[in-house]
């Protein structure tokens, strides 16, 4: 069990929970096989060089992307306006990240951070409250991670085997912001290595290949991101060698494989949620293979006809962070910058009886806890409990939208049209701060 924030160790009532494999088809097969089962085929340098110089590597790259597009076209999805458009926007986001991670992160002696998910590039039901960074590493090297703390609610630095959709599902070590010693000026330094190190030390397992940073934002209006830099400290700082044909062939293979495999992998999750959905119930939160050790996910499907609303009720968990959000039928978040389709524990209001009630609806019901579907009559409902001591299961009921107030307490918090508009402005600005490029 990992240290909880603050350096303490404490037992959780759900600490021994078994991990669940999510998805069907390729998603399940890759996770069951593990150990990089979804990575690109291995070839030697001579093979790669010949493929690049003959044009075969490029042609296969294009063919593989075409295959990914066919997976989107052939997916079993609702026959509704906008669904396919969202599918191809989702695929373009995968192309963006797939090419970037293959082209920008292969040099593990000269690592850099890559934003692997943002407002455009989304996959795997990412968290609207998170800002994600990743880099690729050598487990036998020593790295310095330095930066400034910022005012985000917290951050989690993970040492991982790699991308879970490639079969690299193991999470070896993690460190939260609360466990990092921060200097008086707000700066910090973490050493990542196999050998123990004084101060902030992040241990590298011999099979580690990746470090991921997740920043958590609760107060979107006021929090600012932390900053992170990374460098290898046991290197002679020699410049990289010139790019060879074999290197470029490998990049093309890795990029195309990442895109196609990611498309196929995540397409196996929504059909499972549809098949397992039970009307009038919400699936329990579980720990998934490939997920971080301290995160429990509740994944379910929803169908909500026009003129109807869904009311979720729960006893708030004893967790340092928890949230609810909506995802579309491609298992990615909706437009969280311009609509309120995610709410965390700092944003949600709790009723006087100690319960939390959230209304999922197509139109604004005028209550504080509203998740906006944007008109999507089908999609995914997801909640997260992180660093939690218990695991309360929400209940749900579907009612006519006009009857929502009748099933809520009389003292339910309400908001005006002006207050809602102000909140959306805050969200838009918050996302811009997270994703600023200059």
pLDDT digits (tens, 9 = 90+) for 151-186: 999 999 999 999 999 999 999 999 999 999 999 999
Mean pLDDT for the chain overall: 94
For residue 340, the model assigns a pLDDT of 98
CA–CA gap between residue 117 and residue 434 (Å, rounded): 11
Identify the three-state secondary structure at position 31: helix
Superfamily name with CATH number, domain 108-236 = Domain of unknown function DUF1214, C-terminal domain (2.60.120.600)
Query: Per-residue pLDDT averaged across 83-107, rounded?
Result: 97
Query: Per-residue pLDDT averaged across 402-411, rounded?
Result: 97
Residue with tokens 């509704």: 80
Rank 10-14, 205-209, 434-438 by mean pLDDT and report only the highest. Answer: 205-209
Q: Specify the domain boundaries for CATH 2.60.120.1600 within the chain.
A: 270-434
End-to-end CA gap in the chain: 39
- Residue 185 DSSP label: T
pLDDT above 70 for 231: yes
For residue 17, the model assigns a pLDDT of 64
Residue pair 343/284 in contact (Cβ under 8 Å)? The answer is no
Name the nearest CA neighbour of 159 among 118, 198, 190, 121.
190
pLDDT band at 18 (very low <50, low <70, confident <90, very high): confident
pLDDT band at 395 (very low <50, low <70, confident <90, very high): very high
> CATH topology for 270-434?
Jelly Rolls (2.60.120)
Q: Specify the domain boundaries for CATH 2.60.120.600 within the chain.
A: 108-236
For residue 9, the model assigns a pLDDT of 29
Largest CA distance in the chain: 73
Query: Per-residue pLDDT averaged across 35-62, rounded?
Result: 96
């Amino acid at each position: 069990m990992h240290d909880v924030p603050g350096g303490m160790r404490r037992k959780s009532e759900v600490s021994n929970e078994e991990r669940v494999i999510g998805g069907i088809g390729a998603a399940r097969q890759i996770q069951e096989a593990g150990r990089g089962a979804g990575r690109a085929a291995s070839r030697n340098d001579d093979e790669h060089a010949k493929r690049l110089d003959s044009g075969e590597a490029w042609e296969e790259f294009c063919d593989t992307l075409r295959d990914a597009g066919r997976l989107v076209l052939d997916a079993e999805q609702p026959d509704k306006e906008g669904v396919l458009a969202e599918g191809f926007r989702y695929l373009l986001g995968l192309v963006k990240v797939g090419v970037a991670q293959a082209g920008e992160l292969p040099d593990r002696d000269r690592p850099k951070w890559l934003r692997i998910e943002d407002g455009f590039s989304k996959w795997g039901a990412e968290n609207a409250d998170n800002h994600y960074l990743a880099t690729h590493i050598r487990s036998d090297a020593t790295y310095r991670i330095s930066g400034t703390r910022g005012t985000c609610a917290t951050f989690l630095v993970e040492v991982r085997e790699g991308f879970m959709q490639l079969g690299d599902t193991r999470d070896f070590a993690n460190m939260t912001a609360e466990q990092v010693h921060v200097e008086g000026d707000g700066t910090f330094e973490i050493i990542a290595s196999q050998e123990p190190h004084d101060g902030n030390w992040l241990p590298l397992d011999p099979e580690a290949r990746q470090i991921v940073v997740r920043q958590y934002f609760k107060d979107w209006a006021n929090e600012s991101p932390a900053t992170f830099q990374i460098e290898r400290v046991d290197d002679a700082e020699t410049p990289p060698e010139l790019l060879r044909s074999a290197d470029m062939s490998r990049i093309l293979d890795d990029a195309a494989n990442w895109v196609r495999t990611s498309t196929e992998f995540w397409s196996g999750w929504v059909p499972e949620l549809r098949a397992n959905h039970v009307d009038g119930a919400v699936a329990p939160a579980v720990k998934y293979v490939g997920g971080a050790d301290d995160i429990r996910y509740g994944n379910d499907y929803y169908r909500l006809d026009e003129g109807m609303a869904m009311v979720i009720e729960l006893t708030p968990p004893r967790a340092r962070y928890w949230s609810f959000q909506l995802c579309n039928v491609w298992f990615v978040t909706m437009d969280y910058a311009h609509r309120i389709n995610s709410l965390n524990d700092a944003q949600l209001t709790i009723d006087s009886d100690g319960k939390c009630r959230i209304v999922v609806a197509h139109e604004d019901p005028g209550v504080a806890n509203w998740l906006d579907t944007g008109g999507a009559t089908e999609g995914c409902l997801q909640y997260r409990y992180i660093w939690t001591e218990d695991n309360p299961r929400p209940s749900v009921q579907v009612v006519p939208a006009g009857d929502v107030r009748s099933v809520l307490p009389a003292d339910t918090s309400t908001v005006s049209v002006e207050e809602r508009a102000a909140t959306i402005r805050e969200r838009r600005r918050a996302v811009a701060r997270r994703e600023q490029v200059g």
